[in-house]
Structure 1
């Protein structure tokens, strides 16, 4: 762990696991903080995610230079915390140089899938939902399982994704405060 201010921490989870919800709520709870959201970027990454996963899913194959530049800019600002809604945790070697602490929101895959369907298909047809579920069972689940094998074990803190949001926020802030006061 690097001792510096601002403290940079990454929040990881499978899709639908709560990364964005927790990050968005933490930004309100932790004063003098800023957040960067992975989904706000258009990264150069693998064309075929499943092929990438089947070939080992090396996060270093993603060009995260824009995100890294934004982290560098925020590091020069007079803030206390930088939160990254970031699926790779410490796994991307260039991004990990800036991360002090990683959190994995451990949400059961069925709950994450239900949340993702609710989020992504509010206006979708039943047919679109069924196609997405078929894709998940046929291919996509491999991506979720890969993340559980790679990102989760390297996290500094694993939080139960079934806890109420307020409890998750409390656990994370308690741990982040310890780092800041270290």
Structure 2
């Protein structure tokens, strides 16, 4: 079992927990998010995935990040209000973290080791990069920011993990 699930995270509400506790140790799509990005409308598809696959043990986990042109400048309360009011977000969100560089959260230090479909690993390219984890916390797919959450390849990967 991957120790990714045991990594400590703090929720947007300030509660200390682990990634495994947020996901009930089920399949998860971890996404670095931002409220003022051209890709922000992806929240709509992320919430749709949560509602569709949540009953089958799947969880979207949003991780706010302000490292890309300051596109997530808000406080935790502002982020929470924006996401719930504008997009009806019900999935768990963590506190705002760094995803690249020496201050990167340990979760992203590990996630960025996973390659995408082209075999490229490394730094997060932009907001709304996505990692699909199985119930054991293993990264099974990485999708770059412009891949929509409801793209056929994302849905197929989620279905594959849930069928295990």
Structure number with the higher helix fraction is 1
Higher relative contact order (CA 8 A, sep 6+): 1
TM-score (norm 2): 0.37
TM-score (norm 1): 0.34
